[in-house]
Amino acid sequence: MDIIQGQHDWQSLYKEHVAVLMERLQQSLLENEFDSVLIYSGTSSVAFRDDNPYPFKANPHFKHWLPLPEQPGCMLWITPEKKPKLFYLQPKDFWHAVPPEPEGFWLNEWDINIVHSVSEIRQQLAIDWNTMAFIGETTEELFDWPIQHINPNSLLAHLEYNRAYKTAYEQQCLRMANRRAVKGHNAAYQAWHSGKTELETHCAYLMACQLRESQLPYDSIVAFNDHSAILHYDHYLTSATTEMKSFLLDAGAVYNGYIADITRTHCAGESHVFSELIQALDLAQQKLISEIEPGMSFVYLHERMHEAIAILLNQFEIVNLPVEQIINNEITHVFFPHGLGHLIGVQTHDIGGWQKDTNGTMFESPSKHPFLRLLRPLDIGVATTIEPGIYFIPMLLKTLRESEHAKWVNWSLIDTLCGFGGIRIEDTVIINHQGTENITRDAFTLVSEIDFSL
């Protein structure tokens, strides 16, 4: 789907989205013997012994229904076959900016009730508390509510399993989030290339995305040189780098509460072996994506990527063993220690990747791949990241250096590559009847003047 035009198109997509969620919810409530559900957006917690709140993160079950990712204190009361109600909090407050009047393409699908306090919501609820399920955090404001069923596991399992299947509206939100993040990636690359610090590069990303740091879906990884070997590096040095070698940027964005999660790795010298390794891993990632078919096991894909990385380790003479022996001796795990990808949606690591069914039965984690976040098949409508990496991590290399396989490793080359840190390339794909739609690659091609105001 190309960039949709105007309010009407968003209204149509959103109306279909709500209808699908309502159908899923009706089945979930029926199977779990509930009549309705009350979903709380959440509240901003304050730091211990302080009055300064942490950045607000909305309940993902709330965001799944409504594009209000920054609205604390709101509630949804949803009863099948009735128009769902939104209790929209507008506190009487002169210290802070009060949320504006609700507006947007989503309004027609909701019965909107403006309230000035969370306690006011209870006064307007005509609920049988015995047959209502509550989803969200239980805060001090809710302590005296007669809630009987708080976050019932069986209901959550049903809803979270189905959340992997993205509606057309959700898919478009993911596309738009990727296009926003691509603007940031392009700006950050220019900042790094012009000699900016990690912090300055991070700020360039924020400015291009037009997002505050608290609005990012996760802490950006802005890693120069050997910092790229720290998988979740987020320190942002303020001093200039004396020698520019490499740059790994893992940074996302949000659109209507939906998340982009993109990683790119760059090399300062195009003729260097590290640059060639980036290109080779990029090609291997794209080849793997081209082979994805509906119903394919993600564990199988992960193992195929290990095979591809074994080929690269052999091809670049990093490990001087036949490919089969590199795989059988699990040497690739030293260089690619994390999982190939994860579900993505209203959460960066969208929940449900380990679930086998709507009952909450979990897949057993493969002993060889303990960090794999996605174990279920890639069915049609599922959105997932594909993010292989090759890293030169001192702690893991030390283990390899002390092993029986050390004599087959090109340590002089590895010592050089350690200064570059590592490589990760991450795209988001959506599984469809034809195979996959790589919305991240499309975003790098399509991003230009996009209106993010809708």
Question: pLDDT tens digits for the chain (454 residues)?
Answer: 455 556 669 999 999 999 999 999 999 999 999 999 999 999 988 899 998 989 999 999 999 999 999 999 999 999 998 999 999 999 988 888 888 999 999 999 999 999 999 989 998 998 899 999 999 998 887 778 999 999 999 999 999 999 999 999 999 999 999 999 999 999 999 999 999 999 999 999 999 999 999 999 999 999 999 999 999 999 999 998 889 999 999 999 999 999 999 999 999 977 689 999 999 999 999 999 999 999 999 999 999 999 999 999 999 999 999 999 999 999 999 999 999 999 999 999 999 999 999 999 999 988 889 999 999 999 999 999 999 999 999 999 999 999 999 999 999 999 999 999 999 999 999 999 888 999 999 999 987 544 444 3
Closest CA to 220 of 240, 202, 194: 202
**Residue 407 exposure: Cα atoms within 13 Å on the Cβ side:** 1
Secondary structure of the chain as H, E, C letters: CCCCCHHHHHHHHHHHHHHHHHHHHHHHHHHHCCCEEEEECCCCCECCCCCCECCCCCCHHHHHHCCCCCCCCCEEEECCCCCCEEEEECCCCCCCCCCCCCCCCCHHHCEEEEECCHHHHHHHCCCCHHHEEEECCCCHHHCCCCCCEECCHHHHHHHHHHCCECCHHHHHHHHHHHHHHHHHHHHHHHHHHCCCCHHHHHHHHHHHHCCCHHHCCCCCEEEEHHHHHCCCCCCCCCCCCCCCCEEEEEEEEEECCEEEEEEEEEECCCCCHHHHHHHHHHHHHHHHHHCCCCCECHHHHHHHHHHHHHHHHHHCCCECCCHHHHHHCCCHHHHCCCCCCCECCCCCCCCCCCECCCCCCECCCCCCCCCCCCCCCECCCEEEEECCEEECCHHHHHHHHCCCCHHHECHHHHHHHHHHCEEECEEEEEEECCEEEEHHHHHHHHCCCCCCCC
Distance CA 399, CA 187 (A): 38
Distance CA 280, CA 258 (A): 31
Distance CA 353, CA 376 (A): 6
Encode burial over 167-190: b for 16+ CB neighbours within 10 A, e otherwise: bbbbbbbbbbbbbbbbbbbbbbbe
**Dihedral over alpha carbons 243, 244, 246, 250 (to 10 degrees):** 110
State residue 452's pLDDT score: 42
Rg of the chain on CA atoms, in Å: 24
Distance CA 259, CA 347 (A): 7
Q: Which residue has the tokens 């059988």?
A: 328
Residue 57 structure tokens: 């993160």
State residue 453's pLDDT score: 42
Distance CA 78, CA 125 (A): 11
Residue type, position 358, single letter: T
Q: Which residue has the tokens 């404001």?
A: 141
CA atoms 190, 424, 258, 43: torsion sign? negative
- Give the distance from CA 254 to its chain's centroid: 9
Q: What is the pTM of this model?
A: 0.95
